[in-house]
Amino acid sequence: MKNQFDIKKAYYLFLLIRKSEEKIIELYNSDKIKSPVHLSIGQEAIAVGVSLALSKSDIIFSNYRGHAHFIAREANLDKMWAELYGKSRGTARGKGGSMHLNDISKNFMPTSAIVTSAIPEAVGYAFALKYKKKNSVVICYHGEGATDEGVFWESLNFASLHDLPIIFICENNRYAIYSHQNTRSINDPIVSRAISFGIDAERISGNSTEEFFKATIRCKEKIKNNSKPQLLECMTSRWQDHVGVTQPELSKEEENNIKKAIKHDDLKNLENKLSKDEVLHIKKRVNKEIEHAIKFAEASDFPRSSELLENVYY
Ligand SMILES: Cc1ncc(C[n+]2csc(CCOP(=O)(O)OP(=O)(O)O)c2C)c(N)n1
């Protein structure tokens, strides 16, 4: 982690996420990908900005919409693709699919399809870090829909009561599947509600990778100085459907929001700050890494039927 924003690295990670997910869209109907996919196209700036502010020892809890978090953490792309293909060299030995990624070597904890399930786990991990007097922080990515569940607020209460080293990253795309936030709760920003639980919370608008990076650095500094747990409400928009590779059916208002967001796509802004040679070099690297990952997935075997119930907990 450096306190200086690394534009080249941000562009590389952003492009790797975007191109990986575009490749998923391209291949999805061939049925090679064996699991549902929840894409992050439009939301990548958050994962990239946050990840660039982290240390190797920091711990990541993500969710079923986790490709961007996983790739931005520089977790194993080959294994991610093998998992999408349902192959035994995948992150969950091909039995979990896109919603169940993990890379313990990068402190990227296993994800789950159950909304909000990682939040108390992340708080528990932060409690352990404090108990063991470790300096790392926990990052807990979640959607604004996850805040509709009671356990979210119980977790915030516990984190606040014990001053835990945790940063909640709320990716607010305003939609839980097709329900707009305004139809689910009163128009009271998540930040204000979090503050009422004693959490130090900030809302970041604009979908700028660098702003998410700077905000995460600020949160880490505050935690180092023994202040409260942190929450960043990151305003964003999801350009694809909730799940799968089809285009979402949107209200006129949301369609306009997305058009505006596409116009200000931070991938293009980052690209414009680099030289032509730098961009070309990064594009080649990204294509090569994705091609390598797909070859790895294609060359891997499916799990044997004899191991169907191995490492499966139910
Ligand atoms: C406990 C639980 N309830 C409901 C669902 C169905 N579900 C899957 S995603 C989702 C919406 C969550 O929205 P949000 O937290 O905003 O995240 P986003 O999908 O926008 O990233 C719901 C209700 C689920 N998977 N788990």
Identify the DSSP state of 306: G
Question: What tokens does 173 get?
Answer: 């795309």
Q: What is the mean pLDDT of residues 52-81?
A: 98
What's the gap in Å between 200 CA and the centre of ligand 1? 25
Name the CA dihedral angle for 23, 28, 33, 34, rounded to a multiple of 10 degrees.
Answer: 150
Nearest-angstrom CA–CA distance, 299 and 37: 21
Q: Which helix (H) or strand (E) holds 281?
A: helix 276-299
Q: Is the pLDDT of residue 93 over 90?
A: yes
Q: Please choose from 177, 182, 184 the residue to mutate so as to test ligand 1's pocket, defined by most ligand atoms within 8 A of CB.
A: 177
User: Which residue has the least CA distance to atom 23 on ligand 1?
Assistant: 176
How close is the Cα of 173 to the center of ligand 1, in Å?
12
Q: Each residue of 265-294: pLDDT tens digit? A: 999 999 999 999 999 999 999 999 999 999
Q: Whose CA is nearest to atom 17 of ligand 1?
A: 143
Write down the pTM of the prediction. Answer: 0.97
CA nearest 111: which of 92, 125, 94? 92
- Domain 7-174+193-300 homologous superfamily, CATH: Thiamin diphosphate (ThDP)-binding fold, Pyr/PP domains (3.40.50.970)
Using CB distances shorter than 6 Å, the residues near ligand 1 are: 65, 113-115, 143-146, 173, 175-177, 242
Q: Which residues contact 172 (CB under 8 A, 6 or more apart)?
A: 143, 144, 181, 190, 233, 234, 235, 236
Predicted local distance difference test score (pLDDT) of residue 1: 59
Check: CB of residue 274 under 8 Å from CB of residue 62.
Answer: no
Q: Whose CA is nearest to atom 7 of ligand 1?
A: 115
Range in 82-86, 121-125, 243-247 with the lowest mean pLDDT: 243-247
Strands (E), the chain: 59-61, 138-143, 166-172, 175-176, 179-180, 200-204, 230-235
Q: How many angstroms separate the alpha carbon of residue 115 from the centre of ligand 1?
A: 5
Distance 156 CA to ligand 1 centre (A): 19
Please tell me the predicted confidence (pLDDT) of residue 2. 66
Which atom in ligand 1 lies closest to the alpha carbon of residue 114?
26
Q: How far is the CA of 216 from the centre of ligand 1 (A)?
A: 24
> What gap in Å lies between CA 161 and CA 246, rounded to an integer?
43
Distance (angstroms) between ligand 1 centre and the Cα of 63 equals 10
Percent of the chain exceeding pLDDT 70 equals 99
Q: State the distance from the centre of ligand 1 to the C-alpha of 188, rounded, in angstroms.
A: 20
Ligand 1 pocket check: which of 115, 116, 179 to mutate, most ligand atoms within 8 Å of Cβ? 115
- What number does the ligand 1 atom closest to the CA of 149 have? 1
Tell which atom from ligand 1 comes closest to the C-alpha of 63.
Answer: 21
Position 251 scores a pLDDT of 87
Q: What is the mean predicted confidence (pLDDT) over 107-121? A: 97
Dump pLDDT digits (tens) for 204-248. Answer: 999 999 999 999 999 999 999 977 999 999 999 999 999 999 988
117 CA closest ligand 1 atom index: 1
The full set of domain ranges for the chain reads 7-174+193-300
- Nearest in space to 195 (alpha carbons), one of 165, 173, 227, 220: 227
Ligand 1 atom index nearest CA of 116: 1
CA distance 91 to 84: 9
Q: Is 291 exposed, middle or buried (0-12, 13-18, 19+ CB in 10 A)?
A: exposed
* Ligand 1 atom at minimal distance to the Cα of residue 147: 15
Would the pLDDT of 308 be above 90?
A: no
Give the pLDDT confidence score for residue 75 in this predicted structure. Answer: 98
Cα-based torsion angle of the residue sequence 113, 38, 87, 18 in order, rounded to the nearest 10 degrees: -140
